[in-house]
Structure 1
Amino acid sequence: MANGQLIIEQFEAFSPKKFAMPGDSIGLQIGTLNKDVKRVMVTLDVLESVVDEAIEKGIDLIIAHHPPIFSKLAQVNDQSATGRIVMKCIEHKIAVYAAHTNLDVTQGGVNDLMAEAIGLTDTTVLAPTFENAVYKLVVFVPQEAVQQVSEALTKAGAGQNGAYSACQFHSVGTGQFKPETGTVPYIGNVGQVERVSEVRIETIVTELNQKQVIRAMKKAHPYEEVAYDIMRQEQTAEPLGLGRIGYLEQPVSLHQFAEHVRDVFGVENLRFVGEADRLIKKVAVLGGDGNKHVSTAAFAGADVLVTGDLYFHVAHDAMALGLAVVDPGHHVESVMKQGVVNELKKRFEERKIRDVELVVSTANTNPFKFL
């Protein structure tokens, strides 16, 4: 059992709120995180059937991709589905947390999971939305603690420069300080100026991992007060954003590719736009509604875009651009359920968070049936 806030802190380390599109409805939507949580259920949607499943399974916290509350509620009562959802959750002390476009954008989120399911290689971001700023981190360390601090920095993700990891620069110098009254110095005496041989460690961090790196650095550092600097750099790390674009291992026909998409996502049926025998090699994928990014995929050189909710006239636009489109439906984003559970299990294990059970919702929330 763990505090609900601690669980969401681990989730937000994976899928930060800052990745969400402006105005998106994310975060805690129902209930409180200030409570002990024993069972967490991950779902695509929060329908009444999902809440009923949560009640039956004794769930304390629901983590959903699609927010149950998209706009302000004028009233909460049993005359609407949303009202009943809110009432049931409160009555049974179930908190509901939503991660929408931030889960689309994050590494290992919806779009990476879809690209992985299709079998794409060498994937990059299709539509960048978040610039990952780079910072230089400088910390001063006594000689005997250099290895432990250096290793802690690397383990926390500092020093990643393209395909190179553990990148650091070390230089030796003399540090000076005077411990004042009330301090418990690692080196030196209270009230006396101390000079000690120290190593200046320089490395790089990004906006995404800066906090965790600094936290790990302070934990490994022996000093009571750690001397360090953070300086914004001109370059940026690889951007993050919506969708992914990559390659199939071998070219296939559009018809074969559409069958493959149908099979890997387990859908009954799908639609596709384009000549069935055209060869497909470069593939763009965008979970959910990708109508706005048809031209983005075409200009990126994709042979086909895999997305949902394709509009009739947008299909015409894709044809005019020479882009094939495969539409397996919006519900294929349900790939995120097991993906999020796997990610949280890994993070809980690393941080020794135990006695929290993670459950994948089994309720079918796909509204469509096929003849």
Structure 2
Amino acid sequence: MYAKGQAVIQLMEELAPKSYAVENDKIGLQIGTLHKEIRKVLVALDVTEEVVDEAIHEQADLIIAHHAIIYRPLPHIQTDTPAGRLYERLIKHDIAVYIAHTNLDVADGGINDMMAEAIGLTDTQPLDEVHTDKLKKLVVFVPTTHADAVRQAMFEAGAGGIGRYSHCSFNIEGVGTFKPEEGTNPFIGQPGKLETAQEIRVETIVPQSVERRVVQAMLKAHPYEEVAYDLYSLDLKTRTFGLGRSGKLPQPVTLQELCERVKQVFDVPMLRVVGDLSRTVRKAAVLGGSGSRYVKHAQFAGADVLVTGDIDYHTAHDALAAGIALIDPGHNVEKIMKRGVADHLRRKLEERKWATEVIASQIDTEPFRFV
């Protein structure tokens, strides 16, 4: 059985909720429909002519990419232009395109965490906070026989986290009353008769970003035909999410040694570096994409070096004067997301026993060549 498009995207948004995206970012479904079975998903960094060729050859129904294929409003679609021709081919071959951009940058386990893990950073923190998850309290009334199953379903969906503690809940036993009307199919009792049931009032904490998923899991695990539950907004906040990461290196290394590690783990032939190659670095920061605007953030976080792409000339001079080193392996190192996202989706689909296949694009979309 193949997953529907909406189900695949729901699994994608478990990793990178749309609410994490920065304001006005172009994310979500950009071409096609999700109202269809998805036999194969292609995960790509960019959607280029070559990537579309690959998707057609692989008979993919959906491309999940990091960089938007439609970034500015379109006054028209002319199929004799490069962009128009690309859209035409995707539509003709019924290939949908879904974009996860800054929400994937920000997310736990997203691009910046993938980059930080690749070079071995520990005790990581965001460089620039962009989203703070609000908390809600979910209260549900469950027959005692099913309380454990309902609690576990909510916990597995993301409820019950308080700081470094998980599976947090509060439970009160009591007696519930209800009278099933005609035409109902009650789990306990008979239509037309007032009933009582031993129930447990289960309270737990739910981050707003996973609210829908937790409620769906709770309803699915609950035995009642009509579930009595309450959802309260709280004047509390939980974890803060942001762009970039800073953290400690496993051991001090020279800037030269870190450059060699970056080339290896990100599979780049060469890179640009600012700073004394013999200097010792103990703390590093990473930021996928263009990081010129985040040099001061890295410096404020106490990083000795920032690993990012698209550093401009004047920013390089400013960093040199400020005493922070820069390693620029290029914007394209975000290609690390192809394997990471594919692994996430593959694992989630297998857990649900869906036959949908997920592959990482093999196309190199690096536009620069070194000569």
* TM class by smaller structure: over 0.9
Distance change (3 Å), C-alpha of 1:141 and 1:59 = closer
- Residue 105 of structure 2 corresponds to 104
Q: Is the 8 A contact 1:5 1:34 kept in 2?
A: yes
Distance in structure 2 (CA, Å) of the matches to 1:60 and 1:303: 44
RMSD: 1.7
Task: Give the partner amino acid of 2:245.
Answer: R
Distance in structure 2 (CA, Å) of the matches to 1:76 and 1:26: 20
- Give the % identical residues: 51
Task: Give the partner amino acid of 1:22.
Answer: E
Q: CA deviation at 1:236?
A: 1.6
How many matched pairs? 370
Q: CA deviation at 1:6?
A: 2.4
Task: Give the partner amino acid of 1:180.
Answer: E
CA deviations over 1:118-156 (Å, ceiling 9, x no partner)? 111121222111111112222222222222222222222
Residue 370 (structure 1) aligned with residue 354 (structure 2): no
CA deviations over 1:284-310 (Å, ceiling 9, x no partner)? 111000111111111111111111000
For structure 1, which segment, 201-210 or 5-14, has the greater mean C-alpha deviation from structure 2 after superposition? Answer: 5-14
What pairs with 1:14-25 in structure 2 (closer than 5 Å)?
Answer: 14-25=15-26
CA deviations over 1:308-363 (Å, ceiling 9, x no partner)? 00011112222333221111000000000011100000110122221x22121111
For structure 1, which segment, 192-201 or 129-138, has the greater mean C-alpha deviation from structure 2 after superposition? Answer: 192-201
Distance change (3 Å), C-alpha of 1:319 and 1:341 = same
Q: CA deviation at 1:64?
A: 1.0
Distance in structure 2 (CA, Å) of the matches to 1:79 and 1:281: 53
Q: CA deviation at 1:48?
A: 1.0
- Residue 208 of structure 2 corresponds to 207
Q: CA deviation at 1:163?
A: 2.1
Q: CA deviation at 1:78?
A: 4.2
What pairs with 1:343-358 in structure 2 (closer than 5 Å)?
Answer: 343-354=344-355, 356-358=356-358
Q: CA deviation at 1:214?
A: 1.5
SS in 2 for 1:131: strand
- Residue 290 of structure 1 corresponds to 291
Distance in structure 2 (CA, Å) of the matches to 1:6 and 1:146: 27
Distance in structure 2 (CA, Å) of the matches to 1:222 and 1:300: 50
SS in 1 for 2:104: helix
- Residue 60 of structure 2 corresponds to 59
Q: CA deviation at 1:43?
A: 0.8
For structure 1, which segment, 200-209 or 229-238, has the greater mean C-alpha deviation from structure 2 after superposition? Answer: 229-238
- Residue 267 of structure 1 corresponds to 268
What pairs with 1:67-86 in structure 2 (closer than 5 Å)?
Answer: 67-86=68-87
CA deviations over 1:218-268 (Å, ceiling 9, x no partner)? 222222222222222333221112111111110111111111111111111
Task: Give the partner amino acid of 2:127.
Answer: L
Distance in structure 2 (CA, Å) of the matches to 1:286 and 1:209: 25
Distance in structure 2 (CA, Å) of the matches to 1:71 and 1:312: 27
Distance in structure 2 (CA, Å) of the matches to 1:222 and 1:5: 25
- Residue 33 of structure 2 corresponds to 32
Q: TM-score, normalised to structure 1's length? A: 0.94
Distance in structure 2 (CA, Å) of the matches to 1:363 and 1:151: 41
- Residue 359 of structure 1 corresponds to 359
Q: CA deviation at 1:82?
A: 1.0
- Residue 3 of structure 2 corresponds to 2
SS in 1 for 2:362: coil
SS in 1 for 2:29: strand
Distance change (3 Å), C-alpha of 1:59 and 1:223 = closer
Distance change (3 Å), C-alpha of 1:226 and 1:282 = same
- In structure 1, runs of 5+ residues without a counterpart are none
Q: Is the 8 A contact 2:346 2:357 kept in 1?
A: no
Task: Give the partner amino acid of 2:48.
Answer: L
Distance in structure 1 (CA, Å) of the matches to 2:166 and 2:69: 41
SS in 2 for 1:189: coil
Q: Is the 8 A contact 2:19 2:209 kept in 1?
A: no
Residue 126 (structure 1) aligned with residue 127 (structure 2): yes
